[in-house]
Amino acid sequence: MKLAAYPAFTATAFQSRLAYRNQVWSGVFGELVFMFARIAIWTSVFSTVASDSVDGVTLPQMITYALLAGPVLYWDYSRLLRDVGTAVKSGDIAVYLLKPLLYPAYMLASHTGNFLFDLLTVTVPVAIIIGFTVGLVPPASLFHGLAFLAFWALSFGMLFLLTTILGLAAFWLMTADSLDWFFNSIMILFAGGIVPLWFFPDWLATIAGNLPFAWVSYYPAAIYIGQLDPSQALTAFIIGIVWFAVLLAVLLWLWAKARHRLIVQGG
Amino acid sequence: MAIIAASGVEKIFRQPKRHAGFGGAIRSLFSREFTEVRAVDGISFKIESGEAVGYLGPNGAGKSTMIKMMTGILVPSSGTVEVLGREPHNNRITNAAEIGVVFGQRSQLWWDLPVRDSFDLNRHIYDIPAPRFTENLARLTTMLDMSSYIDRPVRQLSLGQRMRAEIAMALLHDPKILFLDEPTIGLDVVAKDVVRKFLAEVNRDRGTTIILTTHDLVDIEEICPRLIMVDDGKLLFDGELKHLRTALGSRRRLKLEFGSDPGPIALKTAQLVADEGAAKHFLLDSEQTSILDVLTELGSGHDLKDVKLEEPDIEEVIRTFYQNKVQAGAVP
């Protein structure tokens, strides 16, 4: 088995999505509605204060944060969770064991395809529409722009690991239906996807800021608008890498356990 | 050397006990009681390279469990399975590269993509050199008559078309062994026939070792010279299909028709089982007894009109056998 197979999975997943073109339109429409709702909320929040910034953040910055932390960084993980969950539930996961490949790597490759598809067909169009209608701000500086790209890659990896770990839990729970709901509520609070951590009470911001979920949405978006200075960004990146390594180890350990369970107990 | 060797293989599943009803469901949340299910119980056999073996048994006999152990996705509870000289579950990836597997009830094709794209993905997964891939694909497309639908998405195919594509998919990388778990399940007569003829040809011309599970005897008659029969996880028979009848101790039926009722007849060579007056049914004691022996013993003087010898239908034999659950040893 060559590594060349994994990019092929990415391409195949991308192609599979092309089969359902209507999903693209509903995706764009759904995200737009969601974005305009967030913009309306933040606009009304900012209109109640006398100054044009809240906690040092202006309204255009806040809208940019909402776009990044929402559609851009928080891609549709539920497809991944569902894929792992149903493969476990239906026993189709055995099919992947019949092929000379590593299942988590296969999942990463094929969901990179899904991610790229969503990025091109939903995220970029939504960002362009919001950019032209409401307006977005550029990165705080060149450093913040480049750091954002690095954090974005880390965010993708982090969300993949968190979701796959949760999906593998279906091995023990025999269903992933409730996990979707559970995960979403945790993410809403701890990832800062809707309310940024700087609006949290200090104690909660400290907790959330040190849990891996914050690297999915909060850190990349906050860095883009310049909420962290270069040394803070570097520290956050290092902690993020450590979390990434820990979660990767957890995933591989869990997969070994799951495989063992599958081959010993037959799923 | 044997390509597959199983010796004393056992597989025991521990299943959590579920209690019936709502109260029972609550109880199951807290109590962890297990029942043990012995799916495979002390099975041994050897399969040589190039053989075609049918693995037969009723539902729940442990057929799929055995296939899963040979393909490395289940570990035996005790005993050993060796495939191509390796323990499959400890060498999953090496083993996977050299075998092909088709599950009749699970698809390995990509649902939303044209069949061709799934094939192409397999080229990457198994790292098949381009010329060999092109050649195999062309050959399989012709043999399985797939050219009319190879560019259509899998979700639009009929079950028969899909099964042919599944089988082609499993053979693209020239596996040494092909495992099929109920490959003809749910297919119509014509599709079954295509699949059977194809598998027999692959076995004969390419020398691919074939192991298939089924509960359809015709599959075995047309593809597999050798039959392994299991029930309740135990080996009942391992040998050629034509020897099965003897092994299961079934006897031929002889029907004698007379012009008029000759009255009761008792014979040493045959046993009377049904008497309709002018027509009498006998069972022949052994394979050695011929009709001639019976007729000689019967002698002349009866108004004998017709003699009919019936070979027992093999399905009938197996059905009676399973129903009686006679514990026959393995007969070569």
- What average pLDDT does chain A have? 88
Domain segments of chain A as ranges: 5-265
Residue B308 CA: distances (Å) to CA of B126, B255, B271 = 57, 5, 15
Residues recorded for chain A: 267
* B65 contact residues in A (CB cutoff 8 A): 266
- Chain A contact for B239 (CB, 8 A cutoff): no
Closest residue to B89, CB basis, from A15, A95, A263 = A263
Rounded CA gap, B45 and B54, in Å? Answer: 13
- DSSP single-letter state for residue B277: S
Spatial distance between the Cα atoms of B67 and B212, rounded to a whole number of angstroms:
9
pLDDT value at position A176? 61
Contact B159, B191 (CB under 8 A): yes
Partner residue opposite A15 with nearest CB, options B71, B117, B127: B117
Lowest-confidence range among A20-24, A225-229, A234-238? A20-24
The answer to which of A18-32, A170-184, B161-175 has the lowest mean pLDDT is A170-184
The mean pLDDT of A251-258, rounded to a whole number, is 90
Can you read off the two tokens belonging to residue A247?
């979660």
Closest chain B residue to A263, measured at CA: B74
Distance from CA of A181 to the nearest CA of B (A): 21
Give the nearest chain A residue to B122 (CA atoms): A5
The pLDDT assigned to A174 comes to 61
Residue in A2, A16, A92 nearest the CB of B110? A16
A2 → chain B, closest CA residue: B127
Q: Which residues contact B146 (CB under 8 A, 6 or more apart)?
A: B115, B140, B161, B164, B165, B168
Residue A79 predicted with pLDDT over 70 = yes
Q: Are strands B34-48 and B2-16 parallel, antiparallel or unpaired?
A: antiparallel
Of A1, A95, A262, the CB nearest to B127: A1
Distance from CA of B93 to the nearest CA of A (A): 4
Rounded to the nearest angstrom, the gap between the alpha carbon of residue B179 and the centroid of all alpha carbons in its chain is: 11
Chain A contact for B65, CB < 8 A? yes
Q: Is residue B216 a contact partner of residue B184, using CB atoms and an 8 Å limit?
A: yes
Of B13, B111, B126, Cβ closest to residue A266: B13
Q: Which tokens sit at B121?
A: 């993905």
Is residue B65 helix, strand or coil? helix
Taking one residue from A and the other from B, the number of pairs with CB-CB distance under 8 angstroms is 74
A262 CB within 8 Å of a chain B CB? yes
User: How would DSSP label each residue in A225-266?
Assistant: TT-S-HHHHHHHHHHHHHHHHHHHHHHHHHHHHHHHHHHHH-
Give A98→chain B minimum CA distance, Å. 6
Mean pLDDT of A99-117: 90
Give the fold, CATH level 3, of B2-246.
Answer: Rossmann fold (3.40.50)
Give the residue-averaged pLDDT of A51-70: 87
The CA-CA-CA angle for residues A206, A208, A212, to 5°, reads 125
- A12/B110 touch (CB, cutoff 8 Å), yes or no: yes
Burial class (CB in 10 A: 0-12, 13-18, 19+), B324: exposed
Residue type, A138: P
Distances (CA, A) of B141 to B51, B135, B155, B189, B219: 24, 10, 19, 21, 22
Burial B273-292 (b: 16+ CB within 10 A, else e): eeeeeeebbbbbbeeebebe
- Distance from the Cα of B85 to chain A's closest Cα (Å) equals 18
Judge: A19–B153 Cβ closer than 8 Å, yes or no. yes
Report, as ranges of residue numbers, the positions in chain B whose pLDDT lies below 70.
1, 18, 28-29, 31-32, 249-250, 285-287, 313-314, 324-332
Collapsing DSSP states into helix, strand and coil, what is residue A70? helix
